[in-house]
A and B are shown apart, each in its own frame.
Chain A
Amino acid sequence: MIIDLFINGLVQGSLLALICIGYSLAYGTAKVINFAHADVMIAGGGYLVLLWSGGTATPEYAPLFMSMLFGFAAYLGVLTWLSENKVLQNLVALGIGLATFVATFVFSGRMPFALAALLAIPLTAGLAVATFRGVYLPLLRRDAPRASVLLAALGVSIALESYLLVTWGSERRVFAANRLPSWMNAEAVPEGVSRWQAACQYGVLPLTRSHSIPTLDLLIVIIFLAVVTGLGLFFRLSRAADAIVASADAPMAARACGIPVERVLGQAFFIGGAIASIGGTLYVLRSKSLDPMAGFSPGILAFAACVLGGIGSLRGAVVGAFLTGLITSLAPAIPLDQWVRACLPVNWVEFLPSLSLSDWSYGVVYALMILIILFKPEGLFKR
Chain B
Amino acid sequence: MKELLSCMAQRQRVWTAHLLVCIAVLAFPLVATRGMVSLGFVSLQYALFALGLNVIVGWTGLLDLGAAGFVAIGAYSTAILLTQFGLPPLAVLPMSCLVGFIAGILLGLPTLRHRLDYFAILTLGFAELVALGIRNWGPITGGSFGYSGIPATHLPFLVAPLRAVPPTGFYYLAASMVAAIYLFVAWLRSTSLGRHFHVIKHSETVGQVYGINIYAVKLAAFGISASILAAGGFFWTIYQRSIIWTEFNVLLSCLLLSLLVVGGMGNPKGVVLGAAIIGSLSELIRRFLTSAGLPQNIRFLIFSLALVSFILLKPSGLVPDRPSWLPRLRRRLDPQRHPVSVDRNVSTTGAVLEVRQVVKSFGGVRALDGFSLTVEEGTCVALIGPNGSGKTTLLNLINGLIRAEGGTILLRGKRIDTLAPFRIARLGIGRSFQDLSVCEELTAEDNVYLTAGGILPAQVDGVLRQFGISDGHVNCASLPYGAKKSLDLARVFVDPTRWSLVLLDEPTAGLTQFEAMDVVRSLAALRKQEKLSMVVVSHDSMFLEALGVDRVVVIHRGLVYKAGSFSTIRNDKDVQRLFWGDNREKT
A-to-B contact residues, CB < 8 Å: 33, 135, 138-139, 144-148, 150-152, 154-159, 161-163, 165-166, 169-170, 296, 300, 303-304, 307, 350-354, 359-360, 362-363, 366-367, 369-370, 373-374, 377
Contact = CB atoms under 8 A, between A and B. Distances in A.
Interface in B237-262: 250-251, 254, 257-258, 261
B304 A151 contact: no
Contact of A303 (B121, B295, B308, B312): B121
Interface stretch (B11-19, B127-135, B572-580): B127-135
6 contacts: A146-B117, A156-B308, A351-B139, A353-B139, A363-B128, A377-B114
Contacts, number: 131
Most B Cβ at <10 Å: residue of A158, A304, A377: A158
Interface string B98-116: 0000000000001100101
A366 B129 contact: yes
Contacts of B297: 162, 165-166, 170
A363 B308 CA distance: 29
A254 B125 CA distance: 36
A139 B257 CA distance: 18
Contact of A162 (B57, B110, B298): B298
Interface in B56-106: 57, 61-63, 65
B50 interface: no
User: What are the 7 A-B residue pairs with the smallest beta carbon separation, nearest first?
Assistant: A353-B137, A162-B301, A159-B304, A155-B307, A158-B304, A165-B297, A155-B308
Contact of B111 (A139, A352, A374): A374
Given A146-B116, A303-B121, A151 B301 contact: no
A148 B254 CA distance: 13
A353 B63 contact: no
B125 A304 contact: yes
B188 interface: no
A307 to B, nearest CB: 7
A378 B128 CA distance: 22
B182 interface: no
Given A135-B308, A159-B301, A363-B136, 19 more contacts: A146-B116, A147-B61, A147-B62, A150-B120, A151-B261, A154-B257, A158-B250, A158-B300, A159-B304, A166-B298, A170-B295, A304-B125, A353-B137, A353-B139, A354-B138, A354-B143, A359-B132, A360-B132, A366-B129
A159 B117 CA distance: 21
Most A Cβ at <10 Å: residue of B111, B128, B257, B304: B304
Interface string B133-161: 10111111001000000000000000000
Q: Name B's interface SS.
A: helix
Given A158-B304, A303-B121, A360-B136, A148 B311 contact: yes
B315 interface: yes
A77 to B, nearest CB: 19
A300 B136 contact: no
Given A158-B254, A374-B110, A374-B111, A147 B304 contact: no
A296 B303 CA distance: 17
B464 interface: no
A289 to B, nearest CB: 18
Contacts of A163: 301
Contact of A373 (B65, B118, B133, B139): B118
A317 to B, nearest CB: 15
A374 B112 CA distance: 10
Contacts of A161: 300
A162 B301 CA distance: 5
A363 B138 contact: no
Given A150-B63, A350-B139, A359-B135, A162 B304 contact: yes
Nearest to B249: A296
A151 B251 contact: no
B124 interface: yes
A369 to B, nearest CB: 6
Interface string B310-346: 0110010000000000000000000000000000000
Nearest to B63: A147
A77 B524 CA distance: 60
